[in-house]
Chain A
Amino acid sequence: MQISLMLFLYIYYGFLAVYLVFVTANLYHLIKFGFLTFGNVLISFLFIAITVILIYCSLALVRTVDWNYTFTIFNTTEETNPFMP
C-alpha cells in the first residue's frame, strides 16, 4: 500500500485551521474584554505578531520538504501472501 507524505501535510493543514480558530477566539477575548490601556493594546499587538511569525516559520520549514515522496507499507508479495492460490 502506497502512502504519500502529502497525507501528513493535509493533516497538518487541518491542524492549522483548527489552530487559527482558537487563535481567533483568544484575540476576540483580548479585544472585547480587555481594558483600553496601552499595556493591553501592546499585548494584543505582540500576540498577533508572534502568532503570525510562528505560523510563517512553520510554513517556511514545511516548504523545504518534498511532500510528493511516497512510501510503501504492508508490502506483501505472492510468496508471503497466504491467501494467493
Chain B
Amino acid sequence: MISPKHLPNQTSGERIEIFIKRHWFVFFIKILFYFVLFIMPLICYFLIGDALYGRYNSEIRMPIVILIACVYYLCIWLFFTANVINDFLDYWIVTNKRIISINQNGLFSRTVNEMQLSRVQDVTCEVSGFFATILHYGNINVQSAGTQQPSVFKQVPRATKAAQDILSLTEKNKCSGCGGCGVKQ
C-alpha cells in the first residue's frame, strides 16, 4: 500500500496540502443498488417460493437452480467490489508544488497524472444535481497551460471550497516562486 507520508516522486520540501477522495454518497448509492439486487431473489423466494417448490423440486431442476443462485450471488459480489474499488482507488492529492490525480479506470487500467502548480491556469467547479447540491459535492476541472489534458476531480466533497483552496495554493506557489508579488493595493 502507498504510505500518505511518501508520495511517488516526492521532492524535498514537498508536503500534502489537500487529499481528496470521492464523496461517501457515491459509494452509498452503489451499495444501495447492489443491496437491492442481493435481496430481490430472496424476496421472490419468500413470496412465491412455496408455489415454485413443487415445480422445481426434482433431481434435475433443483441442482441447476442451486448453481444459478450461487453464480448469481458470486457475480453480484464481484461486480460490486470491482465497481466500488474502481471509485475507491481514485485520489486527488494537492501538494505545495504539484497536483497528482490518480484514477482507476476499470479493473486493468490506471492513470496517474501530475501537474505542476505553477502551470495551473484555470480551476472550475461544477455542482449539478439534486443530491450534489444538497450534499455539496461536485467536479473540479483544473486546466494547465499548454496542451495537457485538464485534471478532473470527480464527485469530491465540498467542491467549491476545495476549488478555492487549490486556487490559493496556486497563487501562493506563484508568489513564492517570484519572491513576492510586490503589488501595492
List A residues at the B interface (Cβ < 8 Å). Answer: 5, 8-9, 12, 15-16, 19, 22-23, 25-26, 29-37, 40-41, 43, 47, 50-51, 54-55, 58, 61-62, 64-67, 69, 71
Contacts and interface: CB of A to CB of B under 8 A. Distances in A.
- Tell me whether chain A's interface is mostly helix, strand or loop, or mixed: helix
Interface of B: 1-4, 59-60, 62-64, 66-67, 69-71, 73-74, 77-78, 81-82, 85, 88-89, 91, 102, 104, 107-108, 110
Given A22-B78, A50-B77, A61 B66 contact: yes
Contacts of A34: 1-2, 88-89
Nearest to A15: B71
27 contacts: A5-B59, A9-B67, A12-B67, A12-B70, A15-B71, A22-B107, A25-B107, A26-B81, A29-B85, A29-B89, A29-B110, A30-B85, A30-B89, A33-B2, A34-B1, A34-B89, A35-B91, A36-B4, A43-B88, A50-B77, A54-B73, A54-B77, A55-B74, A58-B73, A62-B67, A65-B63, A67-B63
Contacts of A55: 74
Contacts of A47: 81
